[in-house]
Amino acid sequence: MKSGFRLSFWLFLAPVLLWLFLLIVLPHIDLLLLSFRGENDMGDLVWTIDNYKNFFIEPIYWYTFVRTALYAIVTTLCTFVLALPVSFYIVKLARPRTRGFLTVLLLLPFWVSELVRVYGWMILLRESGVLNYFLLKTGLVQQPVEMLYNDVTMIMGLVYTSMLFMVVPLISAMESLDDSLIEAASDLEASRFTILRTIIIPHCKPGITSGAIVVFMLALGNYLTPNLMGGKNSLWFTEQIYNQFIASFNWNQGAAFGFLLLVLSSCIIWVGLKLSRHRLGEVAA
C-alpha cells in the first residue's frame, strides 16, 4: 500500500515539478550564467564579475535600489495600516451575511488587469481628470492640480494594487481569534489601542508577516505602477533592469541586476523574519 501511495504521489507531483523546473529553475540558471558573461577588448565572450561590480561602482544603480527598497517598505507599512481595520471589520464586526459580499468587493478590482486599474487612477488624478473637474467646478482650486508623477501618488498606486495580498492573510489570522479575549479586555476597561497592541496584533503576527512579505516583494518587483504613476523621475530598480534588457540590449548586465534584486530582497526579508522572530515555514503555513 505504501509503495502504491508513493508512486501515485510522485505521478501527480511530477507535472508540477517539471513545470517549475522548465519555466522557473532552468531560465534562472541560464540568466545566472548570463550574468557572469561579458566581452573583452577583442570582442570575445569571457567569464567576468564586472556586471556585478558595475552595480556598486555606479552610484545611480545602488541609490536606485536603496530608494526602491525604502519605498517598498513604506508601501508595506501603509498597506498594513489600511488593511488591519478592514480585516477586523469584515471578520469581527460585519454580519455573517455581509462578510462574503464585502470579500467580493475586495476581490472585484482584481478581476481586471493591473494595467486597467492603474489607468483608472491616472484618469481620475490627471490634470484633465475627474477629480480636477470637480475641484474646478466647486471653486476649490482656480487651475488644475498636478496629482500624478510624484512619489506620493506612486505609493498610493502600489498600496492599491497590493491591498488584497495583505487583507487575505489578516482575515485568515483573525478568524481564529477568540472574541472572548477582546470582550474580557473591554470589561477590564482596556483602551482600544491596548487591545490592538496586546491581543490583536500578537495573535495576527503570522498573517502580518506573510502579508508583509508578499506585499514587499510585489512592490519591489513592480514595474508598471512606478513607471506610469511615478513618471520619468520615479527611479525604480525594475526600470533599470528593463533599460538594460530592452533599451541597451545588455542582457548580461540586466541578468546581473535581476539576480542582485533577488538576493538583496531575500536578505531584507530574512532580516524582517529575524526581527519578527518567525521562521519562513511558520509564515507559509
pLDDT of 2 over the 70 cut: no
Q: Where do the H-state alpha helices sit in the chain?
A: 2-20, 26-35, 50-57, 59-88, 96-107, 114-125, 130-138, 151-162, 164-174, 179-187, 192-195, 201-203, 205-220, 224-229, 237-242, 251-276, 280-284
Q: Cβ atoms within 10 A of the Cβ of 242, count? A: 16
Asked if the structure places residue 34 within a domain, the reply is no
Q: Cβ atoms within 10 A of the Cβ of 252, count? A: 20
Whole-number pLDDT of residue 95: 86
Structural domain boundaries, residue 156: 48-284
In one-letter notation, the amino acid at residue 136 is L
pLDDT of 285 over the 60 cut: no
Q: Is the dihedral of CA 114, 116, 117, 123 positive or negative?
A: positive
- Any bridge partners for residue 38, and if so which? 46
Q: Cβ atoms within 10 A of the Cβ of 226, count? A: 23
Give me Rg for the CA atoms of the chain. Answer: 23
Q: What is the CATH number of the domain that holds 248?
A: 1.10.3720.10
**Contact indicator for 260, 35 with CB cutoff of 8 Å:** no
Whole-number pLDDT of residue 212: 92
Average pLDDT of the chain? 86
- Residue that wins the pLDDT comparison between 233 and 198: 198
Whole-number pLDDT of residue 158: 93
Asked if the structure places residue 146 within a domain, the reply is yes
Whole-number pLDDT of residue 79: 96
- C-alpha cell belonging to residue 167: 487583507
Asked if the structure places residue 253 within a domain, the reply is yes
- Any bridge partners for residue 46, and if so which? 38
Per-residue pLDDT averaged across 213-236, rounded?
87
Whole-number pLDDT of residue 155: 93
Asked if the structure places residue 277 within a domain, the reply is yes
Q: CA end-to-end span of the chain, whole Å?
A: 28
Asked if the structure places residue 122 within a domain, the reply is yes
Q: Could you read off the pLDDT of 231-282 as tens digits, one per residue? A: 776 789 999 999 898 888 888 999 999 988 888 888 888 887 887 776 666 5
Q: What is the DSSP letter of 108?
A: G
Per-residue pLDDT averaged across 154-158, rounded?
92
Whole-number pLDDT of residue 71: 94
Residues 237, 115: Cα–Cα separation, whole Å? 19
Asked if the structure places residue 40 within a domain, the reply is no
pLDDT of 1 over the 60 cut: no
Asked if the structure places residue 178 within a domain, the reply is yes
pLDDT of 194 over the 60 cut: yes
Cβ-Cβ contacts under 8 Å for 168 (sequence gap 6 or more): 211
Domains in the chain: how many in total? 1
pLDDT of 27 over the 70 cut: yes
Q: Could you read off the pLDDT of 30-88 as tens digits, one per residue? A: 888 999 988 776 766 788 888 899 888 888 898 999 999 999 999 999 999 999 999 99
Asked if the structure places residue 198 within a domain, the reply is yes
